[in-house]
């Protein structure tokens, strides 16, 4: 029997396990997946927790509900990958040999990378919402908060779901308006980027929406440290922004196992061919999802589009053929914009998010880069699709490759 091992059973790993289980000959291939946790978190749902729209039980399910029968599942922390020996060492002392390896260990936040972040004010006046602990602590804080300076800060790029910080301030505007204290809350979006978003068209349209919602924008701010005593964030060039509550998007990095294995770049992401998804330095290792160093968004929708490409290329690799399927960097993200509306963006490596219409057979069209109720329903629908279709590796009604249909250049 040949062995295919998947590291990480999050969005991407679970999806690949289901696809490969359907496709590979089970008399020839043994499939094994490893993860340290038994609970699957729907991370896109973390955004809604601080505002009491979701609570913890809306975003968790047991991972085992999504594994196919017959796959070998190991619950253990992964200690080290030894690519030159074709094996993986687990913390529970198991050694896994493999013929093919898929790395899907994701990305996580590292607030301790910034001086003074995890200190006196951590989870008292400083929160993140990229972890379940941070999101629920912030929900408790907001419930009793009577207003003041709310600062959101993006530390460093890249981050998972690069639109989530914008969604956060849009929802904060909506939430504090509904609570009748919007006039007492000063919302300030402080980012390392040169504008509201990364790409010019989207950045200018989203920047206008910030202005319209009376959210203050400070760009090109590179945080050096947090001054806990005076409640300020300070940049490398000594600019200061005071806060009463700081919502940080900390540095995002690949898992420490990547560094322990000597396989990562300076952010512990694995150098990966951006079209074939094969690890740059190893022929029998593939990488998918947030764990890669691809210049694409780190998002569940991206992992889904990658999965179709990766399946095809793994089958080619097994047959000893050239890897023909090419990922184009396709991302499709719903941006919650508050008051029951949303915005949709759809883009890839070469085409920036553009305005226009996004056709979706049977359901659409959705409006691109425009606030509509329909786009909000798209986001709501995404959670259902995530649990019921995406994780199980089923087809979604969206093509893996981006299409120009409906877009206005």
Partner 1 sequence: MATKEYAGKTVETTDDGYLINASDWNEEIAKEIAKEEGIEELNDRHMTVINFMREVFEKTGEGPSIRKLTKESGVPTKELYELFPKGPAKKAARIAGIPKPKGCI
Ligand X SMILES: Cc1cc2nc3c(=O)[nH]c(=O)nc-3n(C[C@H](O)[C@H](O)[C@H](O)COP(=O)(O)OP(=O)(O)OC[C@H]3O[C@@H](n4cnc5c(N)ncnc54)[C@H](O)[C@@H]3O)c2cc1C
Strands of the 95-97 sheet, one edge to the other? 78-82, 87-90, 95-97
Positions in the binding site for partner 1 (CB under 8 A): 156-158, 162, 193-194, 198-199, 220, 222, 224, 236-237, 265-267, 295-297, 331, 347
- Omega of the bond leading into 255 within 30 degrees of 0 (cis): no
Select from partner 1, ligand X, none the partner in contact with residue 291, using the beta carbon and a kind-dependent cut-off of 5 to 8 Å.
Answer: ligand X
The nearer residue to ligand X, 103 or 245, going by C-beta atoms, is 103
Q: Could you say whether residue 77 binds ligand X (CB under 6 A)? A: yes
Applying CB under 6 A, which part among 53-61, 99-107, 184-192, 318-326 lies near ligand X? 99-107
Tell me how far apart the alpha carbons of residues 5 and 29 are, in angstroms, rounded to a whole number.
Answer: 10
Report what 265 binds from ligand X, partner 1, none; CB cut-off 5-8 Å by kind. partner 1
161 binds, among partner 1, ligand X, none (CB under 5 to 8 A by kind): ligand X
CB-wise, 240 or 265, nearer to partner 1?
A: 265
Residue 187, phi-psi category: left (phi > 0), alpha (psi -120 to 50), beta (remainder): beta
363-392 residues in contact with ligand X (CB under 6 A) are none
Q: Which does 77 bind (CB under 5 to 8 A by kind): partner 1, ligand X, none?
A: ligand X
Least distance (Å) between residue 240 CB and partner 1: 14
Please report, for residues 14, 31, 210, the alpha-carbon distance to residue 18 in angstroms, rounded to integers and kept in the order given: 6, 10, 41
Verify binding: residue 338, ligand X, rule CB under 6 A.
no
* Residue number, 6 or 234, with CB nearest to ligand X: 6
Of the candidate residues 207, 300, 329, 353, the single one contacting ligand X (CB under 6 A): 300
| Cβ nearer to ligand X, comparing 255 with 346 | 255
| Nearest-5° Cα angle at 292, 290 to 298 | 35
Q: Are 388 and 234 in contact (CB under 8 A)?
A: no
> Which residues lie closer than 8 Å to 240 by C-beta, 6 or more apart?
227, 232, 233, 234
Side-chain half-sphere CA neighbours of 196 within 13 A: 22
**Nearest distance in Å: CB 343, ligand X:** 12
Contact 202, 331 (CB under 8 A): no
306 near ligand X (CB under 6 A): no
- As a whole number of angstroms, the distance between CA 43 and CA 25 comes to 33
Does residue 182 belong to the site contacting ligand X (CB under 6 A)? Answer: no
Q: Of these partners, partner 1, ligand X, none, which one is at the site of residue 374 (CB under 5 to 8 Å by kind)?
A: none
Rounded CA-CA distance 360/348 in Å is 17
Partner in contact with 37, chosen from ligand X, partner 1, none, beta carbon below 5 to 8 Å by kind? ligand X
Given ligand X, partner 1, none, residue 362, with its beta carbon under 5 to 8 Å by kind, binds: none
202 sits near ligand X (criterion: CB under 6 A): no
Please report, as residue ranges, which positions from 217 to 276 form the binding site for ligand X (by CB under 6 A): 255, 257
Write the burial class of residue 402 (CB in 10 Å: 0-12 exposed, 13-18 middle, 19+ buried): buried
DSSP states of 225-272 as a string? EEETTTTEEEETT--EEE-SEEEEEPPEEE-HHHHHTT---TTSPBPB
Report the candidate in 220, 393, 406, 202 with the shortest Cα–Cα distance to residue 297: 202
Interface pick for ligand X out of 32, 105, 198, 203 (rule CB under 6 A): 105
Establish if 10 lies at the interface with ligand X (CB under 6 A): yes
By beta-carbon proximity to ligand X, the closer residue of 164 and 169 is 164
Give 203 or 268: the residue with its C-beta nearer to ligand X. Answer: 268
List the single partner that 199 binds among ligand X, partner 1, none, CB under 5 to 8 Å by kind: partner 1
- Binding-site size, ligand X (CB under 6 A): 35
Name the DSSP class of 118.
S
Return the residue of 160, 182, 330, 376 that touches ligand X, per CB under 6 A: 160
- Strands annotated E in 305-360: 331-338, 341-347, 356-358
Concatenated DSSP letters of 22-36: HHS-TTTEEEEEEES
Which residues contribute to the site for ligand X (CB under 6 A)? 8-13, 34-37, 43-44, 46-47, 77-78, 104-106, 129-130, 160-161, 164, 255, 257, 289-291, 298-301, 303, 333
């Amino acid at each position: 029997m040949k062995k295919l091992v998947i590291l990480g059973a999050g969005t991407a790993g679970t999806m690949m396990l289901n696809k490969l289980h359907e496709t590979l000959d089970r008399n020839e291939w043994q499939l094994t997946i490893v993860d340290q946790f038994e609970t699957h978190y729907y991370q896109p749902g973390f955004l809604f927790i601080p505002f009491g729209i979701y609570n913890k039980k809306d975003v968790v399910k047991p991972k085992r509900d999504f594994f196919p029968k017959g796959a070998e599942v190991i619950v253990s922390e992964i200690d080290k990958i030894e690519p030159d020996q074709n094996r993986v060492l687990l913390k529970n002392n198991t050694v896994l040999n493999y013929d093919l390896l898929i790395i899907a260990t994701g990305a996580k936040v590292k607030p301790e990378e910034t001086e003074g972040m995890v200190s006196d004010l951590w989870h008292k006046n400083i929160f993140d919402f990229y972890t379940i602990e941070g999101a629920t602590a912030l929900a408790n804080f907001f419930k009793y908060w009577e207003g003041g300076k709310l600062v959101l800060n993006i530390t460093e790029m890249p981050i998972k779901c690069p639109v989530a910080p914008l969604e956060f301030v849009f929802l904060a505007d909506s939430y504090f308006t509904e609570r009748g204290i919007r006039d007492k809350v000063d919302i300030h979006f402080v980012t390392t980027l040169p504008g509201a978003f990364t790409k010019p068209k989207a950045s200018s349209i989203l920047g206008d929406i910030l202005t319209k919602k009376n959210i203050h924008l400070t760009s090109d701010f590179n945080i050096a440290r947090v001054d806990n005593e005076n409640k300020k964030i300070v940049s490398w060039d000594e600019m200061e922004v005071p806060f009463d509550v700081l919502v940080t998007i900390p540095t995002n990095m690949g898992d420490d196992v990547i560094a322990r294995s000597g396989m990562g770049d300076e952010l512990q992401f694995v150098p990966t061919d951006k079209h074939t998804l094969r690890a740059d330095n190893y022929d029998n290792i593939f990488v998918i999802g947030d764990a890669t160093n691809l210049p694409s968004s780190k998002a569940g929708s991206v992992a889904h589009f990658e999965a179709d490409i990766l399946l095809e290329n793994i089958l080619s690799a097994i047959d000893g053929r050239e890897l023909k399927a090419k990922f184009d960097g396709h991302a499709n993200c719903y941006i919650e914009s508050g008051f029951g509306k949303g915005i949709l963006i759809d883009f890839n490596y070469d085409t920036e998010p553009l305005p226009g219409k996004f056709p979706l057979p049977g359901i659409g069209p959705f409006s691109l880069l425009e606030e509509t109720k329909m786009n909000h329903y798209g986001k709501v629908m995404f959670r259902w699709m995530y649990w019921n279709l995406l994780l199980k590796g089923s087809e979604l009604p969206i093509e893996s490759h981006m299409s120009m249909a409906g877009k206005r250049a």
